[in-house]
Amino acid sequence: MFDVEKIRADFPILSTEVYGKPLVYLDNGATTQKPLCVLDRIMHAYECENGNIHRGVHYLSEIATDRHEKARARVARFIGAEDSAEIVFTRGTTESINLVARTLPDFICKPGDEILVTGMEHHSNIVPWQIACERLGLKLRVIPVLDNGELDYSALNNLLNKKTKIVACTAVSNVLGTVNNLEPIVTTAHTVGAYVLVDCAQAIAHSHIDVKAINADFIAFSGHKVYAPNGIGVLWGRREILEIMPPFMGGGEMIDRVTFDKTTYNKLPYKFEAGTPDYIGSLALAEAFDYIERLGFDNIIAHEHHLLDYAINKISAIDGVRQIGTASKRSGVISFVVDGVHPYDIGTMLDKLGIAVRTGHHCAEPLIDRFSIPGTVRASFAMYNTLSEVDTFIAGLDKVLTILR
Ligand SMILES: *Cc1c(COP(=O)(O)O)cnc(C)c1O
């Protein structure tokens, strides 16, 4: 049984009061709160298991190394990867994407080649590719977004051709909540010989990510959006591609042997992990995955679907609220605008009622421009949100709109 009140008790911050009102935290698309077990894991590591990894011969270093490598295997298992050497720890989605965008195009692209993204990407899945395009004389192309917030799959055949070398696409839009149908994208991309990177930053907390089922070449996500701390993230890549890619950053850990004449690189995944890694963030991420599986991921998913459906129904009944993104498959997010009222004003007034939402372009300006709006108000859900919080949010919105209109 999924007992949301019991789960809430695991998250100390949820009992915060904001301006004397109970916090209603609906900004989970930006970052999630952390359960006690994750916080305890960090504490315990610093209290009992802290020593720099992979280097020392001493007890603490060996313990820390062992825990870190077990965490890597845990992460691999969570996303269905068979080979934990395919798990590269990074600082987050942004670094994971930059790692690929800084190394792969240099290796496989010639001037005039193309990189394909979608019209609903987060800036971190646009700008690294633009930089690569500038550096190497490549062309950035874009899969259009339809009015309902779904991708225009009919454009795929026109956009993908022999020049397309990389396709970068999000699994779930952080603005619209659209769950993309990755299958036709991955299949068509592979048909023309392009590599596919899937941004799972939004998807990771709300759906089973299985690298074999998705069948892409790279997957990126951040720990902080899946109940783990800031500063740890993951890049999963196929071994045969990671093997041929040059290193991203240089430094300690990533080398095999260094001389002033020539340096050789470490084996996977260490080749891509220059410097002291976040070997405590990795343990906390593994703990977050344990927590999710102890509760039952399917239970969480069902609860969140219920919340979203409930919220969509309620918000649709408010006069003048226009949802941005009405795709048939959605996850975790409601975005909306109200004609004649600026999203920022709605957000700041909701905050005074203790309700945390996000407003603005959500790091996806091209998508906001596509809808010719100044931004949206976004409510985004996590496992610990309740139907009564949705009611509070809807009542708050009603009140705010009465004042603002
Ligand atoms: C949050 C987010 C990112 C960026 O994640 P960081 O943790 O800031 O690196 C990228 N893509 C999507 C879809 C996101 O929601």
pLDDT tens by residue, 152-198: 999 999 999 999 999 999 999 999 999 999 999 999 999 999 999 99
d(CA 162, CA 71): 39
How many angstroms is it from 148 CA to the middle of ligand 1? Answer: 22
d(CA 131, CA 117): 13
Residue 194 in tokens: 């392009």
Query: Catalytic residue among 109, 169, 200, 363, which?
Result: 363
How many angstroms is it from 124 CA to the middle of ligand 1? Answer: 7
Atom of ligand 1 nearest to the CA of 122: 11
How many angstroms is it from 77 CA to the middle of ligand 1? Answer: 22
Q: Over the stretch 216-239, which tens digit does the pLDDT of each residue have? A: 999 999 999 999 999 999 999 999
Q: Is 200 a catalytic residue?
A: no
pLDDT beyond 90 at 36: yes
Q: Which of 27, 31, 89, 94 to mutate to test the pocket of ligand 1 (most atoms within 8 A of CB)?
A: 94
Q: Over the stretch 254-267, which tens digit does the pLDDT of each residue have? A: 999 999 999 999 99
Q: Which of 27, 28, 93 to mutate to test the pocket of ligand 1 (most atoms within 8 A of CB)?
A: 93
Q: What is the pTM of this model?
A: 0.97
Query: 36 with 12: CB under 8 angstroms?
Result: yes
Query: 274 with 254: CB under 8 angstroms?
Result: yes
- Closest residue by Cα to atom 5, ligand 1, is 93
pLDDT at 19: 96
Percent of the chain past pLDDT 90, that is, above it, reads 98
Residues forming a β-bridge with 169: 198
pLDDT at 56: 78
